[in-house]
Amino acid sequence: MPHLTRTIKTACKLVFFAIFLSACNEGGEDNNNQPASATNTCTDSLKILTIDVSISNRDDITRISECSMIIGDLTISNSQNLSSLSGLENLQRINGRLVISDNSSLINLVGLNNLISTEALQIRNNPRLESLNGLSNLATTEVLLIENNPSLTLVDSLSSLNSVETLTISNNPQLQSLQGLEGISATRALESTCSADGEKDITLQSTDDITALLGCEIIDGNLNITGSRALTNLSGLDELEGINGDLNISDNLALNSLSALQNLTHISGTLNIQSNSNLSSLSGLETLTDVQALSINPNSVIDDLSGLDAILNSDFEQFSPDMMCQSSQDQGSGDTSSGSITIRSSADLEALNRCFITNGDFRIEGDDTLSDLDRLSGISLIRGELSISTNVLTHLQGLSGLHRVLGDLSISNNSQLQSIDGLQALTRIDQSLNITRNPALLNITQLSQLNSIGGNLSVTENSRLNSLRGLQGVSLIGSTIKVEISHNDTLSDLVGFPSLRYINGDFIISNNEQLFNLQGLESLNYVTGKLSIDNNAALNALTGLDALNTSTTQASTMSLAIDSNAQLTSISALNLPDAQLTQLSQLDITRNNALATLSGLENLSTISGDVNITDNDALGHLGHLGLSAVSGNLNIKTNRDLNTLDFPKDLLISGLFTLSENASLSSLTSFTNFFIDAAGGFKINDNPLLSDLSGLENTVKTIQAIITNNDSLNNLTGLNNLDEVTGDVVITDNSRLEALTGTDSLRVITGQLVISANDTLESFSNFGGDAGIQIIDGDIIIENNPQLRELTSRLAHTGHIKGDLRIHNNALLTDLLGLSSTWQVTGNLSIRRNNSLPDLQFLSRLTTPKKNIDIIGNNALISLSGLNSVGVAEGDITIANNNNLTSIDDLSGLLEVFGSFIIQNNDALTEINHIDQLIDIDQRINIDQLTNIDNHLSISDNDNLTQIQGFNQLEQVRGNIVIFNNPKLNDLTGLTNIGRVENNIIVSQNPQISDLDEFDSSPDNIIINGGLFSAFNALTDPLFIPITPCSADSSRLSGDAIIRSSADIDQLMSCTRIGGTLVIMPDASVTNLNGLRQIQSVEEDLIIFAPNLTSLSGLEGLTNIGGSLQIHNALILESLTGLNNLVTIGSNLNIITSPELRSLEGLESLERLEARGNINSIIYISQARQLNSLSGLANLTNTDDSLEVRVANTNVSETTLNEFCQRVIRASCRPESN
């Protein structure tokens, strides 16, 4: 294309001087140049020549050598011998044209070194001119013309030139670039957009073509730089900022640099770079941020995409397919969308095309043939995860072009890797960086260009890594992340993080054996999550954390954990002048056994969460802990040498204060500025030298008060102002506690009261002062106090105990005076093993226990005096193992029991009388006035009981009547008036019972809906019918079957179906049920009354029971394994008195309990104290209102029961337990 000339006309230029005025002509015409002569010299003091001058030899130069300014033209032409212009060094300005032409020997322009300005500069037709050296100070000219200089290679001496109005550079065949003209700026009147003579495309093939675009900022159209043999660079395009079209750079043989494009920021079309045989780098394109598409041939000499950093670090995706990596099996398909590549061998490397970008994960899992990664040197962007895990690579030099990884970078399990040399160009990881388990790795200095990690940083288990230098450029780590530096055995400091100001997540420094301090973190201000420093065996100080500052809102979420650093002696770096550690979300200082002081925490005033100061053996005091408020819990535990709690400021605790296992702490007297909020509480336990609680006087109201296992605690002085506890009060295992003095103001306990295992406590005197405790809304548990003699203080003065009342194992307790106001117990009433308690007279106001009554194992108890007013019991009544109890007459007011009534193993009880009011046992029982028992009536193991009288009004038992193992019992006439038994009557192992006439089923007597079963009494079972074996023709047994011996089991070996009720009540010779394996169905009830059975193995074939499943007195049965295939039960499931039953394992196949008519089916489990779970019923799903669940005297919690009933949809629960 023809050369282009840009011209801005100048109408007239006026130049003023001190002594005269000269007019200038329009440029373009000669002014009758005169050769320099003796009269044309600058001899006056002004050194100014005011005529046109012509030079053609050295003498001409000499004559004007003194001139500093020429007002006129200077023409240097037609010289034969001039090789330079030396001698003109004084010349500074030409107010006219400078024409240098047709000089056959001129090589350079040295001599014009001080020339600053000329109106026009024309350099033409100088055959040997190689450079413009000598014009380095030329700053302005209106016209610049350089043409027809065949030897000219450079114009770089024009670098000071900043103002040109007309520029022509043409026909200089050796000119390689326009470098030197960069200073020509937009101060000239050039258009801000450029195009080529109105053409849409501009094509550049030479420096002449580039001249036309000098000063262009925007090119409106496509720019093609193509097919040039001479262009080595693109100097002249230095001001180019944008191209509104494509930029195509291709087929340029000499082009070796794009540095002149350093200001190019956007290309609205495609950047296409192809087949430039000497162009090896894209350096110069660093400012390019916006391009529509990118096509760069990876098979050219371009090493990688360095230079396109802004593009690589953006969301740009429009790469041409030939830039993408493909394995050999994918090549040719053109599909690069899946993109995941795995390199396992050198063959896999050879199969990979030369490429710049992977479109998915890239995994290097090399075998022994993979010695290097050189073929990967062009890969600049991995748009997925990069994982490197090999046993052969010692370095990563083949990844030298890698700039960015969009996924995780994982360098792990590389047994020979000594260096990550090769990652020097990596600047960004969008997800996590994991450097893990590289036992030979010495350093990571090659990551020095890395400035951003978008996810976690994990440097762990690198046993020879001694430095983190290489991470110094990282200033941003993630949005919600974790930084972990752990298990690096030779790491001695953390130098390598000078740019790290904060971490938006957790920072874990753990298990680095040689880490002596934290130097390297001097710039770290805060982390938004947890800063955890733990198990660093050599760490002796926190030097390096000098700049921690949590005074700002964004830093307030930081928590600090200092744990298990065996040599740590000082944390004072946390209070250096640059540090402002004023608030935290949590503080944990634990297991630092050399730490004797908390100096460093003087400015820490508020904690929005918990404080844990535990297991610091050498910590003697807390005098440097400047806390004034803890919104969570304060735990001071297991600090062996801690002897004082000398907090320097007033401290308010809003959560639970726990003071535990501090072996040297004897007093809280330094605690006078300590306050527990009403929403907080305290737990003081296992402090062996603590003698009283003086120091807690500021405590008035809390949600919890727990005082346990303080071996020297003598009284409760210090709690004198405590008025109300809105939760539990627990005072247990204080071996020297003699009195409850100090609780004089206590009036209200909203939770439970537990006073237990205080070995020297004799009395409740002064507990709650003279008025006693007014309100107790939870359980009252008083147990295992061996010296306690009396309950003199009033407990629950209102008379209503809203939880359980449990008085257990108080060997010397003789009265219950403190309970004399009690008229109702919402929970269970349990009085057990109080061996000095003669009666229950101080419970005389009790009328309606809401759950169970257990009077068990009280060996001095001779009567139930005190229970006279009980009319209705809404749970079970169990009276058992009271060896001196001679009468239960005091239950004469009992009308109804909604659970079972169990009288068992009371050796001195000779008769049951005065239960005449009992009408109904509804799986409950009553006495003289008792009319109804809602569940079972059980009378067992009473060694001296001879007769049962007093059930004269008992009309109904809705469960079973069980009369078992009463060796002297000979009279059941007291049961004569029972009108109806919904289930069965079982009479077993009563050797004095000679008849069962009381249960004659004539119309005038008892109605038994189940069966009457007798075994091992002094009579022949009136219902005894020998079992007829099932025949080969029929495997169904008609009617009932009672198994008493192994012979009975043998008779049923061929049976698959029982047509009636099956009762298993065997003698001691039966230890298993293996002969019943064929039974699949029982059409009525299955009753198992088997104190000697350890297992139900043998019932695996059973899938269906048409009636109820009842398990009674299975004294050594631990699980229900054997019933594994049982799917349905026709009515109830009852498990009663199975003390060793630990789980319902074996019922996993049970799906449903069927209701009969409008009568609900019931699950009733009682007297199974080892049972704590209902998990064996996991598949039970009754979806209507037909199921009731009742649990009593087990270890199943109310929470567990409720969760079970919520899952078994619409089941009705009655948590009668425990």
- Residue 396: how many other CB atoms lie within 10 Å: 24
Instruction: Tell me which residue has tokens 């309990």.
Output: 1153
Which of 965, 982, 1013 finishes a domain? 1013
pLDDT tens-digit readout, 195-215: 645 456 888 888 777 877 877
CATH number for position 359: 3.80.20
Q: What is the pLDDT of residue 922?
A: 41
Phi and psi angles of residue 1047, each rounded to the nearest 5 degrees, phi first: -65, -40
Q: Which has the minimum average pLDDT: 7-11, 635-639, 665-669, 1209-1213?
A: 7-11
Q: How confident is the model at residue 1153 (pLDDT cuts 50, 70, 90)?
A: confident
pLDDT at residue number 249: 93
The CA-atom distances, in angstroms, between 15 and each of 142, 143, 311, 444 are 14, 17, 51, 66
Candidate from 150-164, 259-273, 588-602, 740-754 with smallest mean pLDDT: 150-164
pLDDT at 16 over 70: no
* pLDDT given for residue 1005 in this prediction: 62
Lowest mean pLDDT among 447-451, 586-590, 717-721, 1029-1033: 1029-1033
- Note whether 1045 and 1193 are same-domain residues: yes
- DSSP secondary structure of 508-546: EEE--TT----TT-TT--EESSEEEEE--TT----TT-T
CATH of the domain at 147: 3.80.20.20
Domain co-membership, 388 together with 475: yes
Asked if 368 and 466 sit in the same domain, the reply is yes
What Å distances lie between residue 610 and 99, 526, 636, 653, 654, CA to CA?
87, 19, 11, 10, 10
Does 89 map to a domain? Answer: yes
pLDDT of residue 1185: 58
Please compute the mean of the pLDDT values over residues 852-871 and round it to a whole number. 88
pLDDT average, residue stretch 744-759: 93
Predicted pLDDT of residue 1004:
58
Regarding whether 1003 and 886 lie in a shared domain, the answer is: yes
Type of residue at 240? L
Mean pLDDT of 525-551: 93
Statement to judge: residues 347 and 419 lie in one domain: yes
CA distance 1000 to 1020: 15
Is residue 1191 domain-shared with residue 1142, that is, in the same domain? yes
pLDDT on residue 68: 92
Over residues 510-516, mean pLDDT: 95
Mean pLDDT of 565-583: 91
Residue 204 lies in a domain: yes
Q: Is the dihedral of CA 472, 473, 475, 478 positive or negative?
A: negative
Domain limit, last residue, from 450, 476, 491: 491
Stronger pLDDT, 870 or 465, i.e. the higher one: 465
Amino acid code (one letter) for 1062: L
CA torsion 109→115→117→121, rounded to 10°? -10
Q: Which residue has the higher pLDDT, 511 or 797?
A: 511
Residues 897 and 965 occupy one common structural domain:
yes
DSSP state of 350: H
Position 9 in a domain? no
Give the residue-averaged pLDDT of 1171-1196. 78
Nearest to 204 by CA among 230, 182, 181, 180: 230
Residue 933 tokens, joined:
């028992």
Residue 317 falls within a domain, yes or no?
A: no
DSSP three-state, residue 375: helix
What phi and psi, each to the nearest 5 degrees, are found at residue 1202?
A: -65, -40
Closest residue by Cα to residue 547 from 565, 531, 563, 568? 531
Domain residues for the domain of 991 are 836-919+927-1013
pLDDT category at 1132 given cuts 50, 70, 90 is confident
Two tokens at 950? Answer: 């007093």
From first CA to last CA, the distance across the chain in angstroms is: 104
pLDDT for residue 683: 96
With a cut of 70, say whether residue 1012 has pLDDT above it: yes
Nearest 10 degrees: Cα torsion 1182, 1186, 1192, 1197: 40
My answer on whether 284 and 407 are in the same domain is no
- Which of 81-95, 695-709, 955-969 is the least confident region? 955-969
Tokens standing for residue 28: 């373009």
Same-domain status, 289 and 346: no
Which has the higher per-residue pLDDT, 1114 or 141?
141
* Integer Cα distance of 481 and 528 in angstroms: 10
Q: Say how far apart CA 247 and CA 266 lie, in whole Å.
A: 10
User: Cβ neighbours of residue 428 under 8 Å, at least 6 residues apart?
Assistant: 312, 313, 403, 404, 405, 450, 451, 452, 454
Which span out of 17-26, 60-69, 861-870 was modeled with the highest average pLDDT?
A: 60-69
Instruction: Provide the pLDDT for residue 239.
Output: 87
Residues in the chain: 1218
Is the pLDDT at 596 greater than 80? The verdict is yes
Whether residue 471 sits in one domain with residue 343: yes
Quick check: 762 pLDDT over 80? Answer: yes
Mean pLDDT of 180-202: 58
CB 1028 within 8 A of CB 1054: no
Q: How confident is the model at residue 1105, as a pLDDT? A: 93
pLDDT at position 85: 93
Q: How many Å apart are CA 250 and CA 168, to the nearest integer?
A: 26
The answer to whether residue 632 sits within a structural domain is no
Return the structure tokens found at 531. 């800063």
> Which tens digit of pLDDT belongs to each residue from 475-486?
777 766 789 999
Q: What pLDDT does 33 receive?
A: 58
pLDDT tens-digit map of 17-31: 332 333 333 333 444
**Tally of domains in the chain:** 5
**pLDDT for 722 beyond 60:** yes
Q: Which pLDDT tens digit goes with each residue over 826-838? A: 888 899 999 999 9
Report which of 165, 171, 181 is spatially closest to residue 8, judged by C-alpha positions: 165
- Find out whether 55 and 72 touch, Cβ atoms under 8 Å: no
% of residues, the chain, pLDDT over 70: 88
Are 969 and 992 a contacting pair, CB within 8 Å?
yes
* Residue whose token pair is 């894209």: 282
Nearest in space to 639 (alpha carbons), one of 594, 691, 574, 694 = 594
Is residue 242 situated within a structural domain?
yes
Q: Please, which pLDDT band fits residue 714 given cuts at 50, 70 and 90?
A: very high
Q: What average pLDDT does the segment 267-293 reach?
A: 92
Using DSSP's 3-state secondary structure scheme, residue 94 falls into: strand
Q: What is the pLDDT of residue 334?
A: 45
Residue percentage of the chain with pLDDT more than 90:
44
Any idea which of 245-259, 515-529, 608-622, 1037-1051 has the lowest mean pLDDT? 1037-1051
Q: Give the mean pLDDT of 1032-1039.
A: 83
Residue 11 has pLDDT above 70, yes or no: no
pTM: 0.64
Question: Is the confidence at residue 332, as pLDDT, over 70?
Answer: no
Residue 1067: HSE in the Cβ half-sphere, 13 Å Cα cutoff:
9
Helix (H, G, I), strand (E, B) or coil at 490: coil
What are the tens digits of pLDDT across the range 1037-1095?
Answer: 888 888 888 888 888 888 999 998 898 887 777 888 888 999 999 998 898 887 888 88
Closest CA to 353 of 378, 335, 372: 378
Residue 68 lies in a domain: yes
Top-ranked range on mean pLDDT: pick from 658-667, 1006-1015, 1018-1027: 658-667
Question: Beta-strand (E) ranges in 404-514?
Answer: 404-405, 409-412, 428-429, 433-436, 452-453, 457-460, 476-477, 481-486, 502-503, 505-510
Last residue of a domain, one of 431, 457, 491: 491
Cα 988 to Cα 124, 395, 442, 880, 980: the distances in Å are 136, 85, 82, 18, 20
pLDDT the model gives residue 637: 96
Whether residues 203 and 165 share a domain: the answer is no
Q: Predicted confidence band at 314 (pLDDT cuts at 50, 70, 90)?
A: confident
The predicted-structure confidence for 384-407, as pLDDT tens digits, reads as follows 999 999 999 999 998 999 999 999
How far is residue 431's CA from residue 408's CA, in Å, rounded to a whole number? Answer: 5
Work out the pLDDT band at 1158, boundaries 50, 70, 90. low
Which run of H or of E encompasses 310?
A: helix 309-312
**DSSP string computed for 153-190:** ---GGGTT--B-SEEEEE--TT----TT-TT--TTS--
Q: What is the pLDDT of residue 796?
A: 67
Domain membership flag for residue 1074: yes
Same domain, 1116 and 1006: no
